[in-house]
Each structure stands twice: as structure tokens, then as C-alpha cells.
Structure 1
Amino acid sequence: MKAVVAGASGGIGQPLSLLLKACKEVDHLSLYDVVNTPGVTADLSHISSVAKIEGYLPADDGMKKAFTGADIVVIPAGIPRKPGMTRDDLFKINAGIVQGLIQGVADYCPNAYVLVISNPVNSTVPIAAEVLTKAGKFNPKKLFGVTTLDVVRAETFVQSITGARDPAETVIPVIGGHSGETIVPLFSQAKPAVKIPEDKLEELTKRVQFGGDEVVKAKDGAGSATLSMAYAGYRFAERVMQAAKGKTGIVEPTFVYLPGIEGGDAIAKETGCDYFSVPVELGTDGAKKAVNILGSANAYEKKLIEKCVEDLKGNIAKGVEFVKNPPKKEEKK
């Protein structure tokens, strides 16, 4: 299994590369970034794990060398959020970065599983789909927006109520998108069941939706949620790889193109969105089936879904429009 980290030298990329270097599912780890990749590669190469590691810069066909033969490409590339910056503010900068990297996927490893971490995911995944479609290489079953950090936060924050020793043992589906009010944690569908006091529900929901702001503020302008995002990206990547190798019964929420996945059409019709994060059963070919759990949401959660859909439609349209009609400034760059 050859894994690529595109944006390997950044705040998310370095800890993500560390985790993947130690991952037993990875035989070959390829790092790519516009700066500092040789140093990160040299450092990680001293770790006594199975994965062979190599790193590339753009010079000398670096992207081609990094991507060729990849089974899975994880993309955390982009600039981090700064205080007062929303995920949507990142759009103009990160959209162009993602577009270039996805073109590399289309050119050099079109059959790879592609995991997009770069924010804003609600727009960058549609960008990726449009680029791959233009190249005639789009496989909806292999393109994923990583929303696992929202799931990880829901698991972690609810621990204060459940008192569970291991928060990850409480499975909480989080659906919708991956920014602010597009994030909808469905605590009513937690397994095992969780009873959340009514006076704590809204606060808990908001904390999951805006947990990134908490980290940005705590880091006082020095960064965003890089370590927790790296863990979440690694967790989802590991499960995709396990499913690819034949492990069954793996279901993870992820932001996908619904019409291209079994069970997705019904969810797309219900929400009016072609892209949505829902629990997805993973298989050897990627996304095997989208699981529709919207109907089981309670009254409070249904109101959250309504707001989510309203915001998400605009985010998706923005990503599609970026590829179909690129802004002039980005063209000059």
C-alpha cells in the first residue's frame, strides 16, 4: 500500500506523516510539498517501522514521482486558519492549491483513494470532483472529504456526560458538512445510547460545530487544530486502507458525492445537496454504500439539518463555480 501525503511539511502534514509512517497498513510512504520535504523525510526515515519513505519538492518532476503508483493520497495542503478567520475565508487561497494537487492525481494516480482535508472541505471536495471529471478520471467511490475531526470531537466532548473511559467506544454519527452550522452531530443516535441533559445539548452541539475556534483562540494566533486534525485524518485513512484490504463492517461518516454511491440518491433528493457527509460503508472499491440516517433524527436535530442544508448548498456551488469559471486573480498566479 503506497500512501501519499500532499502538503507533508505543514502543521497537519507533519504529524499526519508521522502517524502514517508508523501505520502497519502502509508499506511505502511518499511525501510531497513545496518546501521542507527533504528535512521532514529525513527525520521520519529514522523511525523503525515497515514503511519505506521518500520525499519530493516540485522540482525535477517531484509531483509525478511522489504520486505515481499511489494507492491512497491524503491532502492536508493549504494555509491554516488565523484568529477571526472562518473556513470560508480560506477558500480563495486553498482552492487553487487543491485544484493543482488533484490535477496531479488525475495525471499520475487516477485510481487512488483521495482524502481531502484541505479546508473548506464543503467546497474543496466539489473542486476535486470537477477537476477529476474534466480529466475523465472521476470515481465518486474513491473521493472523500475528511470530516472525522467532527466525529472525534463529538466522541470526546460527550465523555464529560457519559464518563466512559475510552471516548472512542461511543459511536456518534456526525452528518452534513465540515464547517460551523453545517456540522450536525446526531447525539440521539449514539451507540451505546447517551442521555444528554436538555440544558447541555445546545452547548455541546455548538462546541462540536465550532471546536476549531476553541483551538485557534487557545493557540493565540500561532496555529489552528493541526494535531487533532492529523489524528482524525490518520484514523480515516487507516480505515479506508483496512477496507481496501478486505476488512468488512467499516462504516465512517465522510463527505461524498452522493449520486455516485449506492444509497446516495435518496439522501441527495432529501437534502437537495449532491455532496453531504453521512455514514458510509467502506469496501475494497472505496465507498460501498451511503447509509441514510436522516429520518431517525429527532426534532432538534432536524432543525439543525435544515440550517446545515441552507449553508451547504452555497459552499458546494462555490467550489463547482471555482473550477468552471476560475477567478481572474487565481489565473494570473
Structure 2
Amino acid sequence: MKRAKITIIGAGNVGATCAHWCAAAELGDIVLLDIPATEDMPKGKALDLMQASPIMGFDSNIVGTTSYEDSRDSDVIVVTAGIPRKPGMSRDDLLATNAKIVSSVGEQIKATSPNAVVIVVSNPLDAMVQQMLKVTGFAPNKVVGQAGVLDTARYRAFLAMELGVSVEDISAMLMGGHGDTMVPIPSCTSVGGIPVTQLLSQQRLDEIVDRTRTGGAEIVSLLKTGSAYYAPAAACTQMVEAIVKDKKRLIPCAAYCDTQYGVGGFYVGVPCILGNDGVEKIIELELTSEEKTNFQKSVDAVKSLVATMDGLLSA
């Protein structure tokens, strides 16, 4: 059986760690790609991972490169390319810069891997995945954003820490945009099948949700010189696995919603069935009136972000 070909665009911390996780799980052969200015850095990281293979016992082939030709005919592409926000840089600066980077990446993907499923990780996530769809012209199910898996993982980790239970016993769902407007769904949050509302007060649950919303910023403040990468890379790997193994995982992803939830043609975090064809189905939950209100606020925030991006790109 032919191995899947997985290309990871951006060989920084998130991209290289994603390559590590994917190789260790033997999900396929891996291409670790970065811009020519990085020179031989992707080759060095790929070689280091290959040298780990006899120890860890994986047979995935890993190639480091700065050429999109090496990524040709990929089955799955993970896009981590972009810049982090720096001192003195406005949110609009980050939005415009990364939108241009994602546009350039999207053009290359369109030319070299027209049948790939594309997982976008670059921030601001909800706008970047929308731009990737626009540039590639791919079917919406073939372009998906990674955020929900990460946000839900943080939520589950914090709940496990609070309750002193295994993370394996916690099921949870978060929806909406990636960031301050994400929407927890209490009716879909349980511990060993027990509703979380029976185990925690509403006040404590709200505090954990707030910590989840700022989970990335908390890590940035602790690291001082970087941002999270272990958990984001693990989240990407779970999505890659669902696609290459056609697992039909029901997980939250930034998916293109048209009539679903009345979104009207934007990417937003919703529960999806993820398989070999990308987003194979969007699950429409029955939300409470409060959840509907919060979800709509999140959708409106995403629409505003995309409008700002479009304005900056056309200026």
C-alpha cells in the first residue's frame, strides 16, 4: 500500500513538531518545506528526524526542502507559514502580512498539489483559511482550518487538571472563531459520561472557559520569546491522521459553512466528520438560545475580520 504524502509548509516550531508527530505515528512520507531564505534549515531538521527513526522505530521518509516541486502531488498539506505578531505591529499589520503569505502559498499548492486536502494553521486562523479557499479555488471540503482541536484540547486539559481525572475521560466541544469569541457547548461536555455541570459550579466552569480562550496568550507570556507549538502540532497531527486513515473523526474544525448554522459562506469552528475527502459532513447541533447568541457574535467577529483582510489586500 502506497504511503500518504504529507507536506508541511513552514519548518518552524509548529511545522517541525508536526513532522515529528506525523513521522512517529507513521502517517506517511513527509516533506518539510520552507522559504528559500531559510537555506538548508528544513534539510537539517528533516535529517535530524530521519536519524531518530531507528531509535523510535518509524519508517516514514522525511525530506527537507525549499522547493514546491518536492511537494508535488501531496495528499495532505499543513500550512503553518506566517509571521507572529511583533512589538509595534498592529493586528491589521499581522492580518495583511499573513494574508499575502497564505495567498502566495495557496498559489503554489494550486499549481503542484491540486488534489490535496489543505489544513490551515496560520493566524488569524479564520481569515487565513478563507483566503486559502479563495486563492486555491478548491472545493470547500478540501480546505479546513485547525483551531477547534487545539481549543478543545486546552479545555479538556484544564478540566482534567481541575477535577483530577484522566484527560481520556473528558469529552468536550467548542465552536465559533479561534480566540476570544469561541463558544463552549456545555451540553456536549462530559466526564466519563457525566455532564460537567454536575461536577463543577457555573462560576468555576466559566473561569476555565476564559482560561481556554486565552490559552495561547498564557503560553506566550510564559515563554517570553515564542508561542505554543507542542499542542498546536499535536492538533494538526490528529487531523492529518483522520484524513490519511479515513477515520471519519467527529472533531471541531474551521469549516466552510454556507447554509449550516445560517453562517452564509464563511469559515467558522463547527463539529465535522473528517475523513479522506476532508470535511465530509458538518454536524448541526441544537444550540440553546444563549449558545446561539454567543455563536452569532463569534460569526460576526469572523465576518468583520475577513472584511478587514479583504480591505487591506485591495488597498
Q: Give the structure-2-normalised TM-score.
A: 0.87
- Determine the C-alpha separation between the residues in 2 that align with 1:204 and 1:309: 22
Q: CA separation of 1:72/1:87 partners in 2, compared to 1, >3 Å: closer, same or farther?
A: farther
Q: Which residue in 2 is equivalent to 1:296?
A: 287
Shift of 1:302: 3.6
Secondary structure in 1 matching 2:204: helix
> What is the CA-CA distance between 1:307 and the residue it aligns to?
2.5
Whether the aligned pair in 2 keeps the contact of 1:87 and 1:119 (CA below 8 Å) is: no
Contact 1:275 1:316 in 2 (8 A): no
Q: Distance in 1 between matches of 2:253 and 2:312?
A: 22
2:301 to 311, 315, 332: 311
Kept in 1: contact 2:130–2:266 (CA 8 A): no
For 2:20 and 2:185, the matched residues in 1 are separated by 32
Partner residue in 2 for 1:44: 49
Which among 132, 137, 143 is matched to residue 136 of structure 2? 132
Contact preservation (8 Å) 2:260, 2:282: no
Number of the residue aligned with 1:262: none
Describe the SS at the equivalent of 1:178. Answer: coil
The CA deviation at 1:322 is 5.5
Give how far 1:256 is off: 1.3
Paired with 2:24 and 2:92, the residues of 1 have a C-alpha distance of 33
Opposite residue 169 of structure 2, the aligned amino acid is: E
- Give the distance between the partners of 1:239 and 1:149, measured in 2 at CA: 15
Displacement, 1:85? Answer: 7.3
Separation in 1, partners of 2:189, 2:235: 19
Q: Measure, in 1, the Cα distance between the counterparts of 2:188 and 2:288.
A: 8
Q: 1:321 to 1:84 in 2, by over 3 A?
A: closer
SS of residue matched to 1:43: helix
Q: Which moved more, 1:184-193 or 1:277-286?
A: 184-193
Deviations along 1:107-136, one digit per CA (max 9) or x if unpaired, are: 000110100001111110111011012xxx
Q: Which amino acid aligns with 2:21?
A: L
Q: Show structure 2 runs of 5+ residues with no match.
A: none
Aligned residues: 298
In 1, Cα distance between the equivalents of 2:92 and 2:254?
Answer: 16
Query: What's 2:260 paired with?
Result: 266
1:189 alignment partner in structure 2: 188
DSSP 3-state at the match of 2:30: strand
CA distance in 1, matches of 2:231, 2:94: 19
* 2:232 match: 229
Deviations 1:133-153 (A, max 9, x none): 2xxxx1111111001210111
1:68 pairs, out of 69, 72, 80, with 72
Asked if the contact 1:4/1:31 (under 8 Å) is kept, the reply is yes
Alpha-carbon separation, structure 2, partners of 1:123 and 1:322: 12
1:11 aligns with 2:22: no
The percentage of aligned residue pairs carrying the same residue is 30
Change in CA separation of 1:4 and 1:87 when aligned onto 2, cut-off 3 Å: farther
| Cα shift readout 1:68-107 (whole Å, capped 9, x = no counterpart) | 0200000111123457978765212211111111111100
Q: Superposition RMSD on alpha carbons, in Å?
A: 2.1
**Partner secondary structure for residue 13 of structure 2:** coil
What TM-score does the superposition give when structure 1 sets the normalisation length?
A: 0.83
Question: Is the 1:81–1:216 contact (alpha carbons within 8 Å) kept by the matching residues of 2?
Answer: no
* 1:278 maps to 2:270: yes
Residues 1:12 and 1:266: Cα distance change in structure 2 (over 3 Å): closer
Q: Are the equivalent residues in 2 in contact too, given 1:130–1:320 (CA < 8 A)?
A: no
Q: How far 1:272 sits from its partner (Å)?
A: 4.7
